[in-house]
Chain A
Amino acid sequence: MVRFQGVAMRYASGPEILHDISFNLEAGSYHFLTGASGAGKTSLLRLMYLANRATRGTVKVFGHDIGNTSRRALPALRRRIGVVFQEFRLLDHLSTRDNVALSLRIAGVKEDVIRAHVAELLSWVGLGDKLDSTPSTLSDGEKQRVAIARAVIGRPSLLIADEPTGSVDEAQGVRILRLFEELNRIGTTVVVATHDQRLLSKFNHRVLRLENGTLRIDGPAS
């Protein structure tokens, strides 16, 4: 599903922040990605969700070597990836409903289909009464759930979540990760970045640990 081989990365002409990263995520797996703040978790995920290209090495997603993939071919790959961004990245001028609908609109899904799916998913994440609210009127926890809804509405085969529990209390955080487990159970490959060791110790998934720009892979946390 995702395969990194000898991957290095730098931003523009900055220092190299990831060196010689190699790992393989099988289809249907559930991984945590952890490491200190600034270790490079977001950067590694950006390579995975095709926001940046590796400076060196090979990144393969869905079997496509991203280094050799043309710009034109990226949108189709990106539509199979759901991303929960660390800073949510919701569109402040759009309602909750339209924020979630955006991924489907971009893919050209029909409006009546969008309408039904979005309402159903938003009530599933407990925001059924906030369909027409704009993000600025929501709590951080609610924004997070809108961001999650937008990431999963297109039934992605790869779900990448960057600190999806960053702004909610522990109980909420556990609920979100359980929700991802449900998606994982129906076949979604899941990668969750978190620096919260306590939270990931409650789960039994494999952990990718970033230290000094390189990767160590641990077995299940407990």
Chain B
Amino acid sequence: MAARRYDLPFSEDGSGRFLPWMIALMVYLAALASVAALAAREVVEQWNAGLEGSATVEIAPSPDDATTEERVAQVLEIVRAARGVESAEAVPAGDINRLLAPWLGTEIGGLPLPRLVDVKFRSGQAVDLRALSGALTRVSGARLDDHSLWRERLRTLGRTVQVAAIIIVELIAIAAGATVVFATRSGLAVHRELIELMHLIGSRDSYIARQFQNHAMSLALRGGLLGIALAAVTLGVIAIISRPIGDALVPGVSIGAATLAALAALPLIAAGIATLTARVTVLRTLRQMP
């Protein structure tokens, strides 16, 4: 059966000219906000994972290199004996100098620098950090840094980004709903005479509401598809531009299948919001008619 035209002349009321563009813009913004939030979360998780399996022991320098080396050896012994430790390596003094050279210059041979011991834990095994920290107090000037401060900060950052993204997407959804309310109200005003006519020939409010909601759904779906297509292009361009600089800072963010499905659902969600909003708006308005 050929698609029947609407009983109400929606093509004449201008809603088709602005609603799809508004919805396209909103779906576009929502898609970018969601991807940004997911990417941020993934980066935070990767950083966190990097920190989780490791700790650093810092050994304050003493004036005499020989005693420093001795204390490093003591630390290595204690750490390697601890439960859950996979490996512990002293960072060579030369490496530390090289790391600091950009800030302190190369003429720092005589400067007393702290020594570092990298500790890697076996994955999936609980480590008694407090006991390890206690054991290290036997070596003067040694201090265990389990990165917990950084990990706490990262967790907070991750949570903040996520909450912000949820709020942004919700605001966009509210704005989309408000736009549909506005478009529907103006449509009701424009078609007032025809709506009265439809009532007089026996139409129920729900029949009229169905006209508006189907119209809103088709406009929102069209706009939503456009918005998601534009978002896909934008993300593609960002991916291409960022590839050369990518891995240094951001350890390879990939968009998973679940994310893709969520993004593909955005136009459908927009259409759903539009349908429901139009229906409720029409029914509420008509209920006040005689």
Tell me, in angstroms, the Cα distance from A83 to B197 when the chains sit together.
10
- Chain B nearest CB from A112 CB (Å) reads 10
Q: For the complex, what is the distance from the CA of A150 to the CA of B197, rounded to whole Å?
A: 12
Note all chain A residues with C-beta closer than 8 A to B193. 89
Q: A52-B290, A53-B290, A111-B1 are in contact. Are A106 and B201 (CB under 8 A)?
A: yes
- Least CB distance, B21 to chain A, in whole angstroms: 23
Chain A residues whose C-beta falls within 8 Å of the C-beta of B1 in the assembled complex: 111
Q: Are B9 and A91 in contact (CB under 8 A)?
A: yes
Interface stretch among B144-152, B202-210, B270-278? B202-210
Total number of A-B contacts with CB less than 8 angstroms? Answer: 55
CA distance A127 to B4 in the complex (A): 21
Chain A CB within 8 A of B198 CB = yes
Bound CA span A150–B287, Å: 26
**B170 contacts chain A at the CB level, 8 A cutoff:** no
The reply to whether A78 and B199 contact each other, CB–CB distance below 8 Å, is yes
Q: Does B5 contact A (CB under 8 A)?
A: yes
User: Can you list, as one digit per residue, whether each of A71-105 has a CB less than 8 Å from chain B (1) or not (0)?
Assistant: 10011101100010100010111100010001101
Contact residue range for chain B?
20 to 34
The residue of chain B having its C-beta at the shortest distance from the C-beta of A108 within the complex is B207
List residues of chain B with CB within 8 A of the CB of A78.
199-202
What CA separation (Å) do A93 and B1 show in the bound complex? 20
Q: Does A2 contact B (CB under 8 A)?
A: no
Residues of A with C-beta under 8 A to B11: 93
Partner of A103, one of B5, B196, B201: B201
A36 at interface, CB cutoff 8 A: no
> B7 contacts A103, CB within 8 Å?
no
Query: B7 touching A105 by the CB < 8 A rule?
Result: yes
The reply on B70 being an interface residue by CB < 8 A is: no
User: Given the complex, which residues of A lie within 8 Å of B4, measured CB to CB?
Assistant: 98
Given contacts A103-B202, A106-B202, A106-B203, contact A89 B7 (CB under 8 A): no
Indicate if the CB atoms of A93 and B201 lie closer than 8 Å: no
User: Which residues on B sit within 8 Å (CB–CB) of A71?
Assistant: 287, 290
- Asked whether B290 lies within 8 Å of A106 as measured between CB atoms, the reply is no
The CA of A84 and the CA of B203, in the complex, are separated in Å by 16
Q: Taking the complex as formed, is B164 at the interface, i.e. its CB lies under 8 A from any CB of chain A?
A: no
Q: How far is the CA of A89 from the CA of B204 in the complex (A)?
A: 18
A49 within 8 A of B: yes
| Interface check B12, CB cutoff 8 A | yes
User: Please, which residues of chain B bring their CB within 8 A of the CB of A102?
Assistant: 7, 198, 201
Please give the residue numbers on chain B whose beta carbons come within 8 Å of chain A beta carbons, in ascending order: 1, 4-5, 7, 9, 11-12, 193-194, 196-204, 207, 287, 290
> Hey, which bits of chain A sit against chain B, CB under 8 A?
49-53, 71, 74-76, 78-79, 83, 85, 89, 91-94, 98, 102-103, 105-107, 111, 150, 154
Give 5 A-B pairs besides A75-B203, A91-B197, A111-B1 with Cβ atoms closer than 8 angstroms: A49-B200, A78-B200, A93-B9, A93-B11, A106-B202
Q: 5 smallest A-B Cβ distances: which pairs?
A: A79-B202, A93-B9, A78-B202, A106-B203, A103-B201
Sample 17 A-B pairs with CB under 8 A, ordered by A number.
A49-B200, A75-B203, A78-B200, A78-B201, A83-B200, A85-B197, A93-B11, A93-B12, A98-B4, A98-B7, A102-B198, A102-B201, A103-B202, A106-B201, A106-B204, A107-B202, A150-B201
